Amino acid sequence: MRLLLLRHGQTSSNVQGALDTERPGAGLTDLGHEQARAVPEALAGEDIASLRVSPLLRTQQTAAPLASARGLTAEVAEGLEEIAAGDHEMGRGHAAVAAYQENLVRWAEGDLDHAIPGGEDGHAFFARYDAALRSIGDEHPEDATIAVVSHGAAIRIYATVAAGLALETLDDQPLYNTGLVVLTGHPDRGWELSSWVNDPVGGAQLRGDTSHDVTADDTTDAVEDATEDR
């Protein structure tokens, strides 16, 4: 299976630096819709057999232009949602953001027992994400290309761990809105990284202000730029 893991377009929570992980979540900003409209042309060379989205509104809005252009149905798949922020839901301050980002590092280091207070541990996250991808893969031939619109932190940590990438990937490889990670393989047989596009697939000119986008990367600046909790 060839898996196109596309991050959703920009939301108001990305602009504000808020850990927005619960359903239905914020919708796309004007820039987010522009990023989404650029996706069909950017993926014009891909023979996409199926299009799946998470249960959160922003992924469904991002997928809509691609679904329309290809005559596909953007099917909601449970398990593809963002990593739960738990007690830090909608948090914007240093403590909340640092705890969320440290959680990713702990999982990348192999500590899957770790969990944010009120959130899920690594075992639960990888089990649900694997299950969602396995269910999708079981419906298609092994050489099929599947487009999945999901979330920044979820895609970054899943690709890093599942493809056996270096821990530094979480710092060195951001994933801005409508950035794309391509994996080949299967949850039961392992994954290989084919490509990692940091910028929006429609071009870097669509990136916008990412200084508070705390699920795009784990840089110190992203943590320090976070505003105070409300």
CATH number for the domain harbouring residue 25? 3.40.50.1240
Cα(207)–Cα(29) distance, rounded to whole angstroms?
A: 12
pLDDT of residue 229: 42
Cα(102)–Cα(109) distance, rounded to whole angstroms?
A: 11
pLDDT band at 218 (very low <50, low <70, confident <90, very high): confident
**65 found inside a domain:** yes
For the stretch 142-174, pLDDT in tens is: 899 999 999 999 999 999 999 999 999 988 999
**229 found inside a domain:** no
Candidates 33, 78, 81, 82; catalytic one: 82
The whole-number average pLDDT for the span 190-204 is: 98
For the stretch 45-61, pLDDT in tens is: 999 999 999 999 999 99
* Number of domains the chain is built from: 1
**96 found inside a domain:** yes
94 is catalytic: no
**32 found inside a domain:** yes
**230 found inside a domain:** no
Cα(160)–Cα(166) distance, rounded to whole angstroms?
A: 7
192 is catalytic: no
Distance, CA of 24 to chain centre: 15
DSSP code string of 48-98: EEEEEE-SSHHHHHHHHHHHHHHT--EEE-TT-SPPP-GGGTT--SHHHHH
**176 found inside a domain:** yes
- Provide the mean pLDDT of the chain: 94
Tokens read off for 124:
């639960």
For the stretch 15-29, pLDDT in tens is: 999 999 999 999 999
Report DSSP state, residue 4. Answer: E
